[in-house]
Amino acid sequence: MAYRDFQHFLEVLESKGELKRIDAPVSPYLEITEIADRVMKAGGPALLFTNPTGTPQRRGTPNHRSAVMREPSIDPAARPGGEIKYAHPVAINTMGSRKRMSMALSCEDFEEHAERIAALLKPDVPGSPLEALRKLPQLLGEIKTVPPKKVKDGICQEVVMMGDEVDLTQIPVLNCWPEDGGPYVTLPLVFTNDPVTGKRNVGMYRVQVYDRNTCGMHWQMHKTGQRHMESAGDQGRRIEVAVVLGGDPAYTFSAISPLPPGIDEMLFAGFLRRENARLVKCRTLDIHVPADAEFVIEGYVDPSERRLEGPFGDHTGYYSLAEEFPVLHVTCITRRERAVWPATIVGQPPMEDGWMGKAVERIFMPMIQLTTPEIVDMNLPVEATFHNVAFVSIRKKYPGHAFKVMNAIWGLGGLAFTKFVFIFDEDCNVQDFGEVLFRIGANCDPARDTLHSRGPVDQLDHASMAEGFGGKLGFDCTHKWPGENGFNRDYPKLITMADDVKAKIDRLWPSLGL
C-alpha cells in the first residue's frame, strides 16, 4: 500500500496504536527533543506535537571559532511578543521501531524488499515457455510502477510564498541540543540536478536555519550534492536546490539509501511503494519534487559562498564542530494548506535513525552479496552508529579469506567508512552480541589476525587522523586453517551436542515441566 501523503501515513500509524498526540504546548527549542529522546530510548510510539509553542533562541555556547562567526540563530528581539504559537504540528519518531519502519515502506516487514531485490538480481530461469508467460505479468507489474511520473500540480503547492512572504522562522524547526548553532531541518530530502548530465540526486543533508530566508547546507565532501555544486562552480553558475519535507515515507528512505550510481532515488521509491512517485515542477526552479510533500523550500547555492555552520548534536553522539559550508538562499516556500512538519533527532543511540539504518542494512544485503557472495550475513550495530563497526559472517573457502572480505567491505560505497570489521565463520549468528563476543575472544589473536588499513571515513568522525580520512582495523575471528598466516597446530572443535540427543530431548521437553 502506497501512502497518499505523509499525513495518510500518520493516520495509519494512529489507527494501529503507533502514534501518540501531544496537545500540551511544547517548545521546538530543546523541549520536543527531550520528550522525543526519552520516548525513543524507551521504544515508544511516534509523536505528533499539535501545539508547538515557544520562544526562538540564540545559539548555544560558541566554540573556538566564534570570533569570526556571523550570528546564525534567530533573534527573539526581532519577533514582536517573543513567544510564538506555530501553525504547524510537528511529527517525530514516525520510523522509530521495526514495525513503523516496515509500515513506512508499505510492507509487513522490511525484509520483504530484500527478497524482492534478490529476486530481481538473481531471477529464476523459467523451466518452460508456459512458466515464462506466467511470470511475465509480475515482471511487467514491477517495471510499470517504478518510473516517476510528472504531473501538473500537487498538494505541496496549495500555499505559495515568495519575496517578503518567505519566512522560515514561522515554521517549528527544531533547536535539538543546547550547544547547537541554531534551528535545524533534520528530515529533509535535498533535490539537485547534475549540471552536466541533468540527472537527479536526492540526499538527506541537515539544513541549519540562519534567518528568514538563509540556511546552511551541510554537503559533506563525499556526498553527491557536493559533486553537483562543484560542477556548477566549474561552469561559473549557481546550483538550484529544493528541500522537501514529507510525502510518502518511502521517499525519505530512498534519500538515505546507498543506491548504485545512476539509480534515481525517485525510481527506487516507486519500486518500494509499488506505485510511481508523482513529481511536480517547482515554482522558481527547474526541479521536480514529490507532489504530495508537506513543504518545499526552493532556493539556490552560490558555489563560491561559505558561512560557518554548526555546531550540531550529531548521530555520532557528539557535537560536530562549526565549519564553513555552502549557503542556501531561499527564493520560495510552498506547502499544503494544513501542513505537518516532519522531524527527527539524532544523538547518542538508540534513536529513530537506528531503525532507518537497520532497514538499509537488511534491504541492501542482496546487493552486497552480489559483489561479495561469500558473505552470509552482516550486522552494523546501532550502538556503534552503523559506520563504525561491522560484524560479518562468511563461507570461508581458503586461508586468508577473511582478509579478502575486509578489503572488499572497505571498497563498497558507504561501507568504506567502516572503522572496525570483524569476520566470523558462517555458523556464527552475527545478530547475537553474546555469540559475537564469544567468537572474538575465542578465535582472534591480535598479533596474527588483524589487518590495518587507511582510507576515507565519515567526515563527522572527530576521532580520525584528519577530516574525512583515517584508519581501519579488521579482525579475523574465524576458525584458523592449517598454515594460515603461520598457524601450525590442530584447531579445536566447537563444543556442540549430538543431533540425535537434541532431537530426543526436544520430544521429551514438554513433559519435563521446565
Catalytic positions are: 314
| Calpha distance 170→24 (Å, rounded) | 19
| Calpha distance 293→246 (Å, rounded) | 5
3-class secondary structure, 367: helix
Q: How do strand 53-54 and strand 184-185 relate by DSSP bridges?
A: unpaired
**What are the beta bridge partners of residue 282?**
none
Amino acid at 265: E
Whether the ω angle into residue 311 lies within 30 degrees of 0, i.e. cis, is yes
Other beta carbons within 10 angstroms of residue 458's beta carbon come to 25
Neighbour-count burial of 336, counting CB atoms closer than 10 A to its CB (0-12 exposed, 13-18 middle, 19+ buried): buried
**What are the beta bridge partners of residue 474?**
421, 451
Quote the Cα angle for 252-290-361, to 5°. 20
| Calpha distance 245→460 (Å, rounded) | 24
How far is the CA of 336 from the CAs of 167, 183, 201, in angstroms? 16, 22, 23
Calculated CA dihedral for residues 264, 118, 9, 17, nearest 10 degrees:
-160
| Calpha distance 53→48 (Å, rounded) | 13
